[in-house]
Structure 1
Amino acid sequence: MAFPATIVILPLGILFILSGLIVNIIQAIFFLLLRPISKNCYRRVNKLLTESLWLELIWLVDWWAGIKIELHTDSETFQLMGKENALVICNHRSDIDWLIGWVLAQRCGCLGSTVAIMKKEVKYLPVLGWSMWFAEYIFLERSWKKDETSLKSGFEHLEHMPLPFWLALFVEGTRFTQTKLLQAQEFAASKGLPTPRNVLIPRTKGFVTAVSNLRKFVPAIYDCTYAVPKSEASPTLLRIFKGISCSVKVQIKRQKMVELPETDDDIAQWCKDTFVAKDAMLEKYNTTEMFSDQELQQIRRPKTSVLGFVTAVSNPVSYTHLDVYKGQHMF
């Protein structure tokens, strides 16, 4: 059921900002007092703090808007999700792709230890951006000279994470739009590359750097493909706040890192080939409505996001002490 945006956004926004600022303050205290003593202990505590805040957004997806997420992957990959370090790449279709990724991470037990490569400007945003900074997200300036150093430094920090993590990288570099698709098609034609129809051409420098630096302690790449049925509008934050539901389909293919090529050029070509295959898969879905031949896994909405939200409403301080993420409270 849809609700007027102004009625919903104001109270939910105030709640999120107030509870988020409380979490940020607690994060800052632990950063100053605990991190110098034990970085691993700080990371474990910060994981719970981060989850307590992000569960409020997951509540919006799960229980307010009722977004239906279908996960297609093989049983072996499904069992490993959340139990191993992984580099996650996916097509960038909407402005909440990152939030869908958080939902999947929450289902698998690694929400608080999920990180991403983001634009530098994001870290200055109160609540969400500050929380990402405390969670050791990697921020880039879109200047390769500076970004290469930032990436390598960020990857070095990840090597010593005490808990399994997902590192998300949108290799297209920007969200898919028709204007950007036309630009990508023109570029492909000028370079003799396959013409994309449903994805943009990946920017491979960051991906090659990630693989080269992560392969010794990250065993797998999760190749994710997002799709929304043609009959439904793509989800947005505004539509979620209005309580408008939709369906999102996700396929994950696990690629062992040791099976990737060794040279930079070959790694870049693997990434390009992966997006060509992704484009063909999405084109097939658009024409036949058959999304994936992978097994449909059951991922159910957890009670923890409801408990976290209700506790935040009643007492924004105490909710940060919830052990919000064991995965045992499922419908």
Structure 2
Amino acid sequence: MAVPLVLVVLPIGLLFLLSGLIVNAIQAVLFLSIRPFSKSLYRRINRFLAELLWLQLVWVVDWWAGVKVQLHADDETYRSMGNEHALVISNHRSDIDWLIGWILAQRSGCLGSTLAVMKKSSKFLPVIGWSMWFAEYLFLERNWAKDEKTLKVTFLPYLHTKFDCLFFNVACYDFAQWGLQRLKDFPRPFWLALFVEGTRFTPAKLLAAQEYAASQGLPAPRNVLIPRTKGFVSAVSIMRDFVPAIYDTTVTIPKYSPQPTMLRILKGQSSVVHVRMKRHAMSELPKSEEDVSKWCKDIFVAKDALLDKHLATGTFDEEIRPIGRPVKSLLVTLLWSCLLLYGAIRLFQWTRLLSTWKGVGFTVAGLALVTAVMHVFIIFSQSERSSSARAARSRVKKD
């Protein structure tokens, strides 16, 4: 990591990690003290706490890097955003698609109640993964034999251990009601995001998808990967009764814009992202699991053609909707900065940490740790570093 970048990463990393640890500590206390008695109250408070943390990342994208997100949506979709529960499905085009989703959720007023289906390793990330765990994100292992049970049973954090599952089994509860059904009484409109391709788009993964399509007699994709529909089908079957809509989201980067990455954002380098959202009423989906799977696959075939058209014209057909750049994230980041700066000054005054070599060494070690954690964040976000990307590249090289 270059020295100039370290000078940028250190203050941003310190701000996010320290404020995040404060939020995590409060979340843990509330999880133990309030959630057992009032799940609704816990969720309302946790929504506020999660937003205090996520808004810092929104600030980095909006104000530090100045990434421009252009939303295309019809009237029905635009009016509905943030006013109803929704299952959001999207292609996984860039390293920061999840951040783009957060920006749109923040503009729609539901950032704190935005959830996602994530790979299991995400929950071990310091601060951000822990906060997602408290916020009831769903973590999967990309193994359907295990993930089917997770989707139907273990959505709640306290049902992640064998002991807890045994406890509820002894209590003779119906496991299905402890799964995604538990979102039925969520106190505010939520978005549950699901990247049905299962991994981020790369040229190597596209080639592997095209080879698979050819072997199965399927349409060969050009701009998307073939969706893995089992998780989607399971989510639809469980949530059909209380989630009124599916938001079909298409993300793409115009030809004239560089690909947005976490590294570029931290460097303060801007990009442009075009997003098209289309609302589909859940009631319009077919009833059988096989037909729901086909519906999802057809959506991605249409999405592929839509991206072909965007590549040729540089835009989508739907109207461009104003989403602005609210100052809320800027104010929250300034508030955290002032609070933590004051706390740091008082700490150094009280402990005289910099007055001894031992204290200086401890401080330098802490800063090195923050830099290392931020480096892990950057590496974790890079699609070319993912295990599925390495597997796809290896398979292509063998062929």
Class of the TM-score when normalised by the shorter of the 2 chains: over 0.9
Contact 2:76 2:279 in 1 (8 A): no
* Matching residue of 1:28: 28
Q: Summarize the alignment of residues 226-265 of structure 1 with structure 2, pairs less than 5 Å apart.
A: 226-265=251-290
| Structure 1 match to 2:188 | 163
Does the aligned pair in 2 maintain the 1:19–1:317 contact within 8 Å? no
Bigger mean CA deviation after superposition, 152-161 or 175-184 = 152-161
Write the letter of the residue equivalent to 2:320.
L
Aligned match of 1:304: 328
Matches within 5 A, 1:167-178: 167-178=192-203
Partner of 1:294: 318
- Give the SS at the match of 2:61: helix
Structure 2: tracts of 5 or more residues without a match: 156-179, 343-399
1:136 corresponds to which letter in structure 2? E
Distance 1:317 1:6, change over 3 A: closer
1:7, CA displacement in angstroms? 1.9
Q: Distance in 2 between matches of 1:141 and 1:172?
A: 14
Distance in structure 1 (CA, Å) of the matches to 2:340 and 2:181: 34
CA distance in 1 between partners of 2:209 and 2:256 (Å): 25
Q: What one-letter code is carried by the residue in structure 2 that aligns with 1:71?
A: L
- The residue matched to 2:112 in structure 1 has which SS? coil
Q: Paired residue for 1:329? A: none
When residues 317 and 37 of structure 1 are mapped into structure 2, their CA distance, relative to the original with a 3 A threshold, is: farther
Letter in structure 2 aligned against 1:302: P
Cα distance change of structure 1 residues 216 and 141 upon mapping to structure 2, 3 Å threshold: same
Alignment partner, residue 84 of structure 1 = 84
Partner Cα separation in structure 2 for residue 76 and residue 180 of structure 1: 34
Equivalence for 1:39: 39
Identity among equivalent positions (%) equals: 62
What is the deviation of 1:162?
0.9
TM-score, L = length of structure 1: 0.93
Return the offset for 1:51: 0.1
CA distance in 1, matches of 2:185, 2:21: 28
- The C-alpha deviation readout for 1:256-284, integer Å capped at 9, x for no partner, is 00000111111011101100111111111
CA distance in 2 between counterparts of 1:246 and 1:146 reads: 38
Q: Which amino acid aligns with 2:79?
A: Q
For residues 72-111 of structure 1, the aligned pairs below 5 Å read 72-111=72-111
- Give the secondary structure class of the aligned counterpart of 2:188: coil
Pick the structure with greater CA Rg: 2
Structure 1, unaligned stretches of length 5 or more? 319-331
> What pairs up with 1:135-154 in 2 under 5 angstroms?
135-153=135-153, 154=155
Q: How does 1:111-126 map to 2 (within 5 A)?
A: 111-126=111-126
Residue deviations 1:157-178 (CA, integer Å, cap 9, x gap): 2112111100000000000000
1:287 is displaced (CA, Å) by: 2.2
Of Structure 1 and Structure 2, the greater helix share is in: 2
